[in-house]
């Protein structure tokens, strides 16, 4: 195979909201604009920074730093804990803007979208996708706020659109097409390419590929049979040239939640209460998406850096929070706890769609657990998360705080 680069009109767009959590906080509070802001999982000294404003990044306050070290860099840094409802509202407004142009949008995370304009009437012969990009920037400012900026990348495939979106941050808009592809690759390092981590970079280096231009010049057969030893090599050959290989949407395989304990403990009763809340959060997401599950996995991390994990296939369907908790508690009862637990997580798998649904013997009666779970979810949807909860969770409003999941935004 010897393909030229793709010279077709670029109709893929990638948009990401700059420093998402921090810039939304700055939009909400004008007093912290143009100042270093760090969003941390906890505002205690050991709390990890999960996002920072561009002003904070310029000082070296970046992802993964703890609050104590951030304040050593700049004693005036403004440290805030996450406000997930605020970020979800911004995400919804973000999506609303994009739906004015096409229905072919895919959220990649809380702050990123892919947009396919190939079938959109918004792109006319006299209106370029670049023009639309600048219009979207203005629409976002009107819908979310004047302080909010986004980066936009345009390309013939998803990979090049995302690459273009990262060229000039913040507030950039760039296009990569067949005409400027070589020039763009000359300016980049391998590690700048989305999907190339240090492990892949090392593999490419061993194969004599040290730059994106080397990567582009490698033959398809060499990448597939020698470098990656799989179909992945052919995908990279096509991806680098602007051909689409990343459009497949993978089905959800599991739902879960985890929690880093602020008050580390070996007390199984405390762990059981935490586990109940994790099961409730997991169950809410499971039910909201129309699934039940027949598998469960529980894991614990300890202060001595060891961990314990166990999973099993259940003999019965899990749908209600109580069903999930019963199975999770059975696993917790088997756990060996050598020292204080620092992290706990539960995941359900073996998903089964609930529609069409077989009629159960006790449907409509007080023994109908599915109906009860759905009714509780309706109450919590209307009046706020954890308005109606099992008795085990009483008094836990401020434990296991609401968080935004990184990565997929299928259901946050």
Where exactly are the structural domains of the chain? Answer: 6-179, 188-249, 254-393
Which phi and psi (to 5°) does residue 107 adopt?
Answer: -70, 130
CB count within 10 Å of CB 292 equals 22
Report the range of poorest mean pLDDT among 11-25, 166-180, 358-372.
358-372
CATH number listed for the domain at residues 6-179: 3.30.70.270
pLDDT band at 412 (very low <50, low <70, confident <90, very high): very low
Using DSSP's 3-state secondary structure scheme, residue 169 falls into coil
Q: Quickly name the fold that domain 254-393 has.
A: Dna Ligase; domain 1 (3.30.1490)
pLDDT digits (tens, 9 = 90+) for 152-182: 999 999 999 999 999 999 999 999 999 999 9
Print burial letters for 134-155: b (CB count within 10 Å at least 16), e (below 16).
Answer: eebbebbbebbbeebbbbbbbb
pLDDT digits (tens, 9 = 90+) for 251-273: 778 899 888 887 899 999 999 99
Q: 154: which residues sit within 8 A by CB, 6+ positions away?
A: 10, 12, 13, 14, 129, 130, 133, 161, 164, 173, 174, 175, 176
pLDDT of residue 361: 42
Mean pLDDT of the chain: 87
Determine the average pLDDT of the residues in 323-352: 94
State yes or no: pLDDT of 399 exceeds 70.
no
Determine the average pLDDT of the residues in 90-97: 94
Q: In angstroms, rounded to a whole number, what is the distance separating the alpha carbons of residues 294 and 310?
A: 15
Task: Please provide the distance, in angstroms rounded to a whole number, between the alpha carbons at the two ends of the chain.
Answer: 42
pTM metric for this prediction: 0.72
State yes or no: pLDDT of 219 exceeds 60.
yes
Which phi and psi (to 5°) does residue 228 adopt?
Answer: -100, -20
* Tokens coding 383: 């009046």
CATH among 1.10.150.20, 3.60.110.10, 1.10.10.10, 1.25.40.10 for 188-249 = 1.10.150.20
């Amino acid at each position: 195979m010897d393909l030229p680069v793709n010279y077709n009109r670029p109709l893929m767009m990638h948009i990401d909201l700059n420093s998402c959590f921090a810039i939304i906080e700055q939009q909400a509070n004008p007093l912290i604009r143009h100042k270093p802001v760090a969003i941390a999982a906890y505002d205690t000294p050991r709390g990890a920074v999960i996002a920072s404003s561009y002003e904070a990044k310029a000082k070296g306050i970046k992802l993964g730093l703890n609050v104590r070290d951030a304040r050593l860099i700049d004693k005036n840094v403004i440290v805030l804990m996450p406000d997930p409802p605020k970020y979800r509202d911004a995400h919804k407004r973000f999506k609303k803007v994009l739906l004015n142009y096409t229905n072919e949008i895919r959220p990649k995370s809380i702050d990123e979208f892919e947009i396919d304009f190939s079938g959109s009437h918004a792109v006319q012969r006299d209106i370029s996708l670049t023009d639309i990009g600048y219009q979207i920037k203005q629409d976002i400012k009107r819908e979310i706020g004047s302080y909010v900026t986004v980066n936009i990348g345009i390309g013939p495939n998803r990979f090049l659109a995302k690459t273009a979106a990262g060229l000039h941050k913040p507030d950039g808009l760039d296009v990569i097409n067949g005409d400027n592809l070589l020039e763009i690759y000359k300016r980049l390092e391998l590690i700048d390419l989305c999907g190339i981590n240090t492990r892949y970079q090392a593999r490419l280096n061993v194969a004599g590929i040290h730059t994106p231009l080397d990567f582009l010049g490698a033959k398809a057969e060499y990448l597939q049979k020698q470098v990656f030893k799989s179909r992945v090599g052919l995908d990279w050959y096509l991806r680098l040239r602007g051909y689409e290989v990343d459009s497949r949407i993978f089905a959800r395989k599991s739902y879960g939640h985890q929690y880093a304990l602020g008050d580390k403990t070996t007390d199984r009763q405390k762990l059981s209460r935490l586990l109940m809340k994790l099961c409730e959060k997991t169950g809410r997401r499971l039910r909201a998406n129309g699934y039940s599950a027949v598998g469960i996995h529980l894991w614990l991390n300890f202060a001595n850096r060891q961990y314990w994990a166990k999973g099993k296939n259940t003999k019965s369907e899990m749908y209600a929070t109580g069903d999930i908790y019963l199975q999770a508690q059975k696993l917790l009862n088997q756990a060996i706890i050598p020292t204080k637990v620092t992290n706990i997580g539960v995941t359900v798998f073996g998903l089964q769609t609930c529609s069409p649904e077989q009629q159960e013997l006790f449907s409509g009666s007080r023994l109908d657990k599915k109906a009860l779970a759905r009714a509780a979810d309706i109450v919590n949807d209307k009046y706020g998360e954890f308005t109606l909860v099992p008795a085990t969770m009483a008094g836990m409003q401020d434990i296991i705080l609401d968080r935004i999941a990184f990565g997929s935004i299928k259901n946050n």
